[in-house]
Amino acid sequence: MSRPVYLVDGARTPFLKARGTPGPFTPVDLAVQCGRPLLARQPFDRRAFDLVILGCVNVIQDEMNPARVAALRLGLGAEMVAFTVQINCGSGMQSIDTAYRYIRDGSHEMILAGGAEALSHAPLVLRQSAVEWFGGMAQAKGIAAQAKMLTDLRPEFFKPVVGLERGLTDPITHLNMGQTAEVLAHRFGIDRQTADAYAMQSHHRLARAQSEGWLDSEVMPAFADDGTAYDHDDGVRPDSDMAGLAKPKPAFERPYGKVTAGNASQITDGASWVIVASEAAVEKHGLTPLARIVDSEWAALDPSVMGLGPVLASTPIAQRQGLSLSDIDLWELNEAFAAQVLSCVEAWADEAFCRDVLGLETAFGRIDAERLNIDGGAISLGHPVGASGNRIVLHLANALKRLGKTRGIATECIGGGLGGAMMLEVA
């Protein structure tokens, strides 16, 4: 049994740039902030869902299984089954994909699928050496043993590590995510200026989308307890220019690297939900879907070149669906790094790569810049890792509808050497 599956509606919070201290919202707070208005504008009772799935990478201690905590706080009822999924930067898309497959296969009718991340809440963690020392001290019996332990005390024990820094380091290769982008920039010949120009365009495109009101039904204002209303993605720099982007030093590989804070995705907090429904649910509740989920794919590759994940995940969909590059009207390719996005574009345009790696007879083709991330992306609006995959699917659906286009792919690279992709067609 394979049933049509619809993306009915969706909403997200503004993506809020982390500014050094924990932001006003936890992952579940964020999920509640955008979930409430999304549910409030539906014609059906919020208990009508069969399931809640939430992607979240950095779950905080107070919110284990954030999907369930969010479901209860959103008033979906004590009987709502809810689970959390984690596949790094693909988590928010994994939730949609799981919902898609459950509904396609007939076990569920309507699922709330989201992603939430509060990177500003990443904990400070003790170094392993310090953890071992504290453990030894606790076990030391008698003054002599304790005095001996004291001589092992090192100043660096008290210098905690930001958990986020470790989270963004690949455990197999020990390369930071930014370094994997440096690897790609080198392999595909992306220079600093090209990466910066791409970043500038991302800011300009997001600023235009904001001022044109194209995000009005997608971005719901979030209200903090202190009375602050957050109504837009606040990492955007509408006046971004090449001179400004030329200033920052390389962030990961000094002094010669090409990846800077300016041409990489921003560290932000945010959440996003979409409603995924069967045809029966759409009819029962009288819904007007935004799009139909046509296909999805996950792929894996060497962790040190994880940035090519979108190429490996998207191509099989095009092949299965018998589509060529020109059939795909819009692309949401998550902007982890400008150099990484541009490397994906280059890989698809490279005949040898397409032949050897993707098994195509010729180059897939060069994606038209006017079809790629047309309203900006993670470089301008940030990358709350668990939420981004959800956001790009939602935005793709909204953009297809707004422009009257037919078909698009949302895809992301995933730390650890993975890629995820999902194809939508307008409903």
Partner 1 sequence: MTGPVLQHLGTTKLELGPVGPGDGPWRRGEADGIVWLVLERADAAVNTVDRSVMTGLAAELDTLERTPPRGVVIRSAKLAGFAAGADITDFEAMSAEGAADLLRQGHDVLDRLASLKCPTLCVVHGAALGAGFEIALACDWRIAVDGASFGFPEVQLGLHPGLGGTFRLPALIDPTEAMTLMLTGKTAHTAKAKALGIVDVVTEERHIRAAVDAIVAGDVERGQPGLKARAFGLDAARSLAARQMRSETEKKAPKQHYPAPHALIDLWEKHGDDPKALQKAEIDSFAALLDTDTSRNLRRVFFLRQGLKDGARGDDAIAHVHVIGGGAMGAEIAAWAAIKGKSVTLGDVQLDPLGRAIKQARETCKGQHLSAIETRDALDRLMPDPKGYGIARADLVIEAVPESAELKAKIYADLAGRMKAGAILASNTSSLRLSDLQASAPDATRFAGLHFFNPVSKMQLVEVVRHDGTDPAVVQRLAAFCGALDRLPVQVTDYPGFLVNRALTPYLMESMVLMDEGVAKETIDAAAMEFGMPMGPVALSDQVGLDICLHVAESLKETLDKPMPEISRRLRDKVEAGNLGKKTGQGFYDWSKGTPRPQAAGETPEDLINRLILPMLDACVECLRKGVARDADDVDGAMIFATGFAPFRGGPLHYARARGVGDVAQRLTDLADRYGARFAPDPGWKDL
Is residue 62 near partner 1 by the rule CB under 8 A? no
Tallying the residues shown for the chain, one arrives at 427
State in angstroms the smallest separation of the CB of 36 from partner 1: 5
Annotation marks residue 56 as catalytic: no
- Strands 268-278 and 16-17 turn out to be antiparallel
Nearer to partner 1, 83 or 157 (CB): 83
d(Cα 420, Cα 403) in Å, to the nearest integer?
Answer: 24
Nearer to partner 1, 40 or 64 (CB): 40
State in angstroms the smallest separation of the CB of 54 from partner 1: 16
State in angstroms the smallest separation of the CB of 72 from partner 1: 8
State in angstroms the smallest separation of the CB of 381 from partner 1: 19
Is residue 32 near partner 1 by the rule CB under 8 A? yes
For 326, which DSSP code? G
Q: How many residues bind partner 1 (CB under 8 A)?
A: 22
Nearer to partner 1, 73 or 284 (CB): 73
State in angstroms the smallest separation of the CB of 80 from partner 1: 9
- The H or E element containing residue 47 is none
Which spans in 255-308 are helix H?
279-285
Is residue 221 near partner 1 by the rule CB under 8 A? yes
Residue with tokens 């459950």: 102
Q: Which stretch binds partner 1 (CB under 8 A): 30-38, 97-105, 304-312, 398-406?
A: 30-38
For 21, which DSSP code? S
Q: Which stretch binds partner 1 (CB under 8 A): 66-74, 167-175, 276-284, 302-310?
A: 66-74
d(Cα 71, Cα 211) in Å, to the nearest integer?
Answer: 33
Is residue 244 near partner 1 by the rule CB under 8 A? no
User: Residues 225, 256, 326, 404: which binds partner 1 (CB under 8 A)?
Assistant: 225
Question: DSSP letters along 51-104, please?
Answer: EEEEE-SS--GGGSSHHHHHHHHTT--TT-EEEEE-BTBTHHHHHHHHHHHHHH
3-state helix, strand, coil in the chain (%, to 5): 45, 20, 35
d(Cα 344, Cα 413) in Å, to the nearest integer?
Answer: 10
User: Residues 22, 36, 234, 323: which binds partner 1 (CB under 8 A)?
Assistant: 36
State in angstroms the smallest separation of the CB of 69 from partner 1: 11
Burial 118-148 (b: 16+ CB within 10 A, else e): bbbbbeebbeeebeebeeeeeeeeeeeeeee
Torsion of Cα atoms, 403 then 406 then 88 then 256, to 10°: -60
Is residue 213 near partner 1 by the rule CB under 8 A? no
User: Residues 60, 169, 223, 304: which binds partner 1 (CB under 8 A)?
Assistant: 223
Q: Which of 56, 89, 344, 354 is catalytic?
A: 89
State in angstroms the smallest separation of the CB of 121 from partner 1: 16
Nearer to partner 1, 29 or 297 (CB): 29
User: Residues 142, 213, 227, 255: which binds partner 1 (CB under 8 A)?
Assistant: 227
Calculate helix-pair angle for 338-349, 192-212, nearest 10 degrees: 100
Give phi and psi for 111, each to the nearest 5: -130, 140
Nearer to partner 1, 33 or 278 (CB): 33
User: Residues 4, 22, 37, 167: which binds partner 1 (CB under 8 A)?
Assistant: 37
d(Cα 183, Cα 176) in Å, to the nearest integer?
Answer: 11
Annotation marks residue 34 as catalytic: no
Q: Which of 121, 203, 204, 383 is catalytic?
A: 383
Annotation marks residue 383 as catalytic: yes
Residue with tokens 């719901």: 220
Nearer to partner 1, 34 or 367 (CB): 34
Binding mask 68-97 for partner 1 (x = CB under 8 A): ----xxxx-xxx------------------
User: Prior bond to 155 cis, omega within 30?
Assistant: no
Q: Which stretch binds partner 1 (CB under 8 A): 226-234, 242-250, 278-286, 299-307?
A: 226-234
Residues 229, 233, 235, 237, CA torsion sign: negative
User: Residues 226, 352, 361, 362: which binds partner 1 (CB under 8 A)?
Assistant: 226
Q: Are 97 and 422 in contact (CB under 8 A)?
A: yes
Among residues 30, 37, 16, 373, the alpha carbon closest in space to that of 216 is found at 37
Query: Between the CA of residue 110 and those of 49, 164, 180, what are the distances in Å?
Result: 5, 34, 38
Q: Which stretch binds partner 1 (CB under 8 A): 35-43, 90-98, 203-211, 321-329?
A: 35-43
**Catalytic residue IDs:** 89, 383, 413
Residues that bind partner 1 (CB under 8 A): 32, 36-37, 40-41, 43, 72-75, 77-79, 221, 223-229, 231
